Structure 1
Amino acid sequence: MKKTQYILTIICIFFIISCDDYLDQPNPNAPEFPETIQDLEDTNLLINAVYNSLFHHYVLSIEENTLNSDEGSVGNRGNGGNNPLDRLVWYRHEYNSATTEVSRKWAALYRGIFIANQAIHGLELIEPTISSQTEIDEWNKQKAEAQFFRGLYHFYLHSTFNNGNIIIRDRFEADLDARNKDVSSSEEVIDFFRQDLKAAIEFLPNPSEIQEQGRITKGTATMILANSYLYEGTDAAIETAKNLYQDLINNFGYQLETDMAKMFTTEGEFNSESIFEVPYTIDFNVTDNAFDENSLHNRLAGRSAPFTFGGQQRFLPSSWLILEYLNEEIDPLDNRNVIQAGNGSTTTRRVSMRASAMVALNNDLDTRVYQSPNVLQAGNLGGGNNNFITSLFKKYTNHDIASSEQATSSGDRNKSGKNVTINRLSEVYLNLAECYIRQNQISDALNAINAVRSRWGLIKLGVGSPSASFDNIVYDQTTLMEHLMFFEKPLELSSEGHAIRIIDLRRWNVAQARFSDLALRQYHPIQYDAPTGLSRGSITSRANGTITLFDPSDPPGNLNIIYNEFEGAATNYSINQGYLPIPEDEVNNNTAN
């Protein structure tokens, strides 16, 4: 019902807004705009259209950004093979200004900005008619929502395109010729979107005050503003980011979720740590084409699930990431890590709760996936096109409610109603930890990281009391930052948010070295049978089930196959340096360039 409550407010907008190319039409609303805007009900339709822009697949570009980072791999591992070419250009960092997805992302973000500017223009038109305090409050809230999205989308463009030098679109222009503008400097763009975000914070409601789930709050805008300062990276900006993150933890009511049934499941949508979330649904308009970017559903479930479960396995966890999830050390003193076996005895979880929530792993016999014991290997163990499907990103799949991606109520693997979480509280804690590390406040940084680790039942970092589980390592500024960069943050936020990982690798100035290091790592798949007759609570392992794991050790595993990952990324990262180029269409059609 929570989705119904929100989505009903935006369905009517499909009949009003049509703007696949934000520059093609002087008026994506109707020929009469803006003359037809008379009151706050009319402007609210425009605000709902701004919200609707968030559903566009390429606003977040999760597939592309995962493969563009060190967290994603293609179906057959290695550096090519039988994978779709539109995936390989991202995995190998071969994208350029003519790449389709580059143009689509640019257009999706500026389309959202265009609609936000329409909404602001409409609000300014009716401002002289606003008189009562109720109307004033509603007017301020609507404008804050529009300014948030305009600021957000400029922030996303700044973070991913052309070294931050992008076009500022600060007003609605009815004249097509007036829309031809040159790029502004990165500094000018930062100033612009921060003004929007700060203005939005003043009038947006607190999280506890929203009536419709999915609406933007002060917390959402504060999160984006804080990340902008973190990404800037100067000492002054880090201090500002730290204060904003502390505010988010202490004053907005967010809590780290401790109910593992609510982490990346349908039951856990809008859980206690959700700050910014896209409320997809298949309750309405399910007949819309799966590739209609106005549709209320998303394609990510089918794209991230393997063939075994009716998916397309277009982006999968990379091998190093799988191994790190497998190797996470759980806290033996945390009762949640104790499993009741079928014979009345107890045993310890095979993998961490974090690993179980984030990805599916073949030897995680304690967690059901798609209503079955967790055995992913589909065979095909020989030859150069080996798929090695030993894992999947669970956060976008319907693993908790269906037997496969084709068995959901939509009947279409490309029509998923599962929400997509963009920002959540654990990101706040880890970004705050980075601020503390930068300021050499190691104890505070450890506390922030350990708050996240404790939620998952993992051992804590640092030296602690004998009554608690610590790794007993003395961290300094360098070693703790390395842990945050290469272990804690990627494992907590894998394939999540808006380009978090590639932006992090770029701003930390470690991307080239990271890809070069990963390209040298060899992986040797090994084959073995699952234990027979082993009952783990309600999950019984499959007898003689073929399971494949990655073993980086020498000699090669019993499949006699060796492969490397990220060789293309290591070679080609220097071409774009972690940014997307301005699309060829924009360069050719914008006469101001």
Structure 2
Amino acid sequence: MKNIKIIFTILSVILLAWSCEEYLDEPNPNAPELLEAVNNLEDTEKVLNGVYNSLFNHFLLSIEEDNYRSDIGSMRNRITPNVGLNEHLDYYFKTVNPSTRRVDQRWGALYRGIFFANQALAALDQIRPGLEGDDLDEWNLQRAQALFFRGTYHFYLHSVFNEGKIIIRDGYEPDVTKRHKDVSSSEEVIAFFRKDLEEAIEYLPMPSEITELGRVSKGAATMILANSYLYEGTQGGTRNMVLINQAMQLYESLRDDFGYALETEVNPIEGSMMFTTAGEFNSESIFEINYTTDFGLELNEFDERSPHNRLASRGGHFNFRGQDFMQPATWLMLAYEEEPIDPSNPINTVVTGDGNQDTRRVSLRASNMIFLNDDLDTPVYGGPNAMNAGRFTGLASRNLTITAFKKYTNHDLGVPDEQATGSSNRLKSGKNAIVNRLSEVLLNLAECYIYNGRVQDAINEINKIRNRWALMPLDINSQLNNDGVPYDETSLMEHLMFIEKPLELSVEGHATRVIDLRRWGVASQRFNDLSQQFYRGTFYPKDGRRIVTPELARGPLATITRALSDIETIPLSEVPADADTRQQRNIFNEFPLSATNYSNNNGYLPIPAEEDINNNEFEN
């Protein structure tokens, strides 16, 4: 159920009419009149709802952009990626600069949210005198929520901009001439946002005490705090065991004390509840953005005040009226295809059209994360998967659309395409976005255990997730891809970095994969290795009726009548030296410039040029 009280409450009053580039110098049309009108806790609640509304801004998480910044995303034209959209190329080629489009929008979105939080804190301070009893409890609760957002948004800025040296905005300043400030050191920023989060934790409710879906809990603040310790403790491949162990204790508490549980309701045909409308705010969700199409449809799809989600279209497959922008990298797609399923788990058994039993073609994790043409056992949009989705449109036609991420699409609603879901506008989806969930806790905890030499304990945490998806469990005595060779700290960490973490959490969270590659100290080598990997598109036989091969035509989806294509990895010895020849033979590689250009920013974004221009105190 969507929570109407949180979403869109007094939206026209609270949300400020700043542009993305001029947030610092634009006057606030609601101040100081807004704060002068605040007299009680009902008024401050309205101001606080404006802070929650800041979550709707897509540039807050910048999931689309970070897909290109990491190793999990590819351009939709893989053979000639430089024909893509300009706003994607800088991120994919790692040539982002202070004037790159959307850098300033991300910066502005986060500081706008911080302004709202500071405005709420100022309003609360204004009515604090004389409050006691239940009113004081409510005051503390509202203040804790505002502190959570101010702390979290500073943490986000610190994690992605300017090596953590960003501007600390610690109070509401209605006078625009006094808002100019220089950046603070990374250490000062960390101390500031941790203090906010620690104060918030004291008064935020436990997850079981949340009465309005979408409100933040003690668990969400604990998750952000834990991540901050892990990120600092592993920055650049270093190991600070004091910080790592602080993170470990918080992750263990999140696992054991907050009531979170892996979403294990997995149907062998329909898949998991995890990334469906019916599965919103499930037992695994820690922090989730509550989008809706129940109201606000009069606002433009690119109006960041609107409560709808563009990601269903941006990541959705073209044949379902999606835009194909958020493409999975080829290595990731193949890794999903190759995940070994547990044949002893009955959930991996499907009934074929003749009543016999057979084993699923691809893993349940793969089925829930991306569209695969091999996955003929899982219907999407109310019909057979390969009827429209998957890797069948060819490698040179339609910009090499060969797959798509599934998490943010409306594949579960039983409608023909994204255009038909709720709003009649493919760019207005009501699908929620999960920012943090229990799987991330378990994987980060496993990482902490590895650093402590607790390999079996780490495997136990990873296997909880693998068992949920009916995957082959890890065995400390025999590596999945190296039979008979035991896992040790190094090999298990490799597995976690390049299999478990990206396959479980692809395109989730706030810059999760970008930050992981950077803090592990493997980003440059990773992009170099991937740029040396070549792939070739292959095609199944087809005639004029575009039929599939007999081995694919089985079970309830045996009536598929569309040709399918596939991709295979090829050795360098088979790669033609001439680029035109490679293109003619559908041979391609990815991340060709990422390794070369990664050192430009070393995994960070620069402070936008607009800040340099408008901020009189800025000396970066």
TM range (shorter): over 0.9
For the aligned residues, what is the CA RMSD? 2.1
The superposition leaves residues 52-71 of structure 1 with CA deviations (integer Å, 9 ceiling, x where unpaired) of 00110100000000111000
Task: Map residues 95-494 of structure 1 onto 2, 5 A cutoff.
Answer: 95-131=96-132, 133-233=133-233, 234-260=240-266, 261-375=272-386, 376=389, 381=394, 383=396, 387-401=399-413, 402-463=415-476, 473-494=485-506
Q: 3-state DSSP class of the match of 2:540?
A: strand
Task: Flag the 1:558–1:76 CA change in 2: closer, same or farther, 3 A.
Answer: closer
Displaced runs of 4+ in structure 1, greater than 6 A? Answer: 556-559
Tell me if 1:560 matches 2:585. Answer: yes
1:445-492 deviation line (CA, Å, top 9, x unaligned): 111111111111011112479xxx997541111111111111110000
Q: CA deviation at 1:154?
A: 0.1
Assess if the C-alpha contact under 8 Å between 2:553 and 2:560 holds in 1. Answer: no
The CA distance in 2 between the partners of 1:495 and 1:68, in whole Å, is 11
Looking at structure 2, the residues matched to 66 and 89 of structure 1 have their Cα atoms a distance apart, in angstroms, of 12
**Which residue number corresponds to residue 67 of structure 1?**
68
Amino acid at match of 2:515: I
Q: Cα deviation per residue 1:364-421 (whole Å; 9 max; x = unaligned)?
A: 00111222211235865375x5633232110011111121111212111111110000
CA displacement 1:515-547 (0-9 Å, x = unmatched): 00100100101111533496655433514x321
Q: CA deviation at 1:4?
A: 4.0
CA–CA separation in structure 1 for the residues paired with 2:222 and 2:80: 40
Tell me by how many angstroms 1:29 deviates: 2.5
Amino acid at match of 1:512: S
Give the equivalent residue in structure 1 for 2:523. 511
- Cα deviation, residue 79, structure 1: 5.2
Q: What residue is the counterpart of 1:539 in the other structure?
A: 557
Aligned to 2:18: 20
CA contact (8 A) 1:55 1:294 kept: yes
Contact 2:371–2:390 (CA under 8 A) maintained in structure 1: no
Report SS of the residue matched to 1:551: strand
Report the equivalent of 1:577: 602
- The 3-state SS of whatever aligns with 2:362 is coil
Q: State the alpha-carbon separation in 2 of the partners of residues 448 and 377 from structure 1.
A: 32
Write the deviation string for residues 231-255 of structure 1: whole angstroms up to 9, x where unpaired: 0112111000000000001011100
TM-score (normalised: structure 1): 0.95
* Helix, strand or coil at the partner of 1:490: helix
Which amino acid letter does the alignment assign opposite residue 179 of structure 2? R
Alignment correspondent of 1:551: 568
- Which amino acid in the other structure matches residue 442 of structure 2? Y
Q: After superposing the two structures, state which structure 1 stretch, 470-479 or 92-101, moved more.
A: 470-479
| Deviation, structure 1 residue 315 | 1.6
Aligned 8 A contact 2:18 2:26 in 1: no
Residues 458 and 6 of structure 1: CA distance in aligned 2, closer, same or farther (over 3 Å): farther
Partner-residue secondary structure (3-state), 1:54? helix
Partners of 2:73 and 2:319 lie apart in 1 by: 19
Q: Equivalents in 1 of 2:78, 2:196: separation in Å?
A: 43
* Inter-partner Cα distance in structure 1 for 2:420 and 2:245: 49
Cα deviation, residue 266, structure 1:
1.1
The Cα shift of 1:81 comes to 4.2
In the TM superposition, residue 323 of structure 1 has moved relative to its aligned partner by 0.5
Structure 1: unaligned runs, 5 residues or longer: none
Gaps of 5+ in 2: 234-239, 267-271, 542-547, 576-581
* Closer, same or farther: CA 450–95 of 1 in aligned 2, 3 Å: same
Deviates more, 1:9-18 or 1:503-512: 9-18
> CA 1:518/1:174 → structure 2, altered by over 3 Å: closer, same or farther?
same
Superposed CA offset, 1:101-132 (max 9, x none): 0000000000000010000011011100313x
Matches of 2:111 and 2:363 in 1, distance apart? Answer: 41
* CA shift in 2, pair 1:360/1:49, >3 Å: same
Counterpart of 1:88 in structure 2 is 89
Of the three residues 484, 508, 512, the one matched with 1:496 is 508
Residue identity over aligned pairs, in percent, reads 53
In the alignment, the residues of structure 2 paired with residue 277 and residue 246 of structure 1 have an alpha-carbon distance, to the nearest angstrom, of 21
Q: How many residues align?
A: 586
Q: Distance in 2 between matches of 1:340 and 1:252?
A: 39
Q: Is the 8 A contact 2:449 2:455 kept in 1?
A: yes
Against the structure 1 CA distance between its residues 79 and 498, is the aligned structure 2 distance closer, same or farther, given a 3 Å change threshold? farther
Using the TM superposition, name which of 176-185 and 108-117 deviates more. Answer: 176-185
Q: CA deviation at 1:553?
A: 2.6
Equivalent pair of 1:520/1:564 in contact (CA under 8 Å):
yes
> With structure 2 as the length reference, what TM-score do the two structures score?
0.91
Distance 2:439 2:121 in 1: 33
CA gap of 1:374–1:37, structure 2 versus 1, over 3 A, is same
CA contact (8 A) 1:525 1:559 kept: no
Which segment drifts farther, 363-372 or 545-554?
Answer: 545-554
Alpha-carbon distance in structure 1 between the residues aligned to 2:121 and 2:485: 53
Work out whether residues 78 and 566 of structure 1, in 8 Å CA contact, stay in contact via their aligned partners in 2: no
CA gap 1:250/1:411 in 2 versus in 1, 3 angstroms: same
- Secondary structure of the corresponding residue to residue 567 of structure 2: strand
In structure 2, distance between residues paired with 1:272 and 1:415: 26
SS at match of 2:566: strand
Distance 1:471 1:446 in 2: 16
Secondary structure of 1:11's aligned partner: coil
Aligned to 1:77: 78
Partner of 1:3: 2
Q: What corresponds to 2:579 in structure 1?
A: none
Aligned equivalents of 1:78, 1:232: Cα separation in 2: 38
Looking at structure 2, the residues matched to 37 and 430 of structure 1 have their Cα atoms a distance apart, in angstroms, of 44
Q: Residue 503 of structure 1 aligns to a residue in which SS?
A: helix
Q: Structure 1 residues 59, 112: CA separation in 2 closer, same or farther (over 3 Å shift)?
A: same
> Which whole-Å deviations, capped at 9, do the CAs of 1:245-273 have from their partners, x for residues lacking one?
00001011100011133021111111110
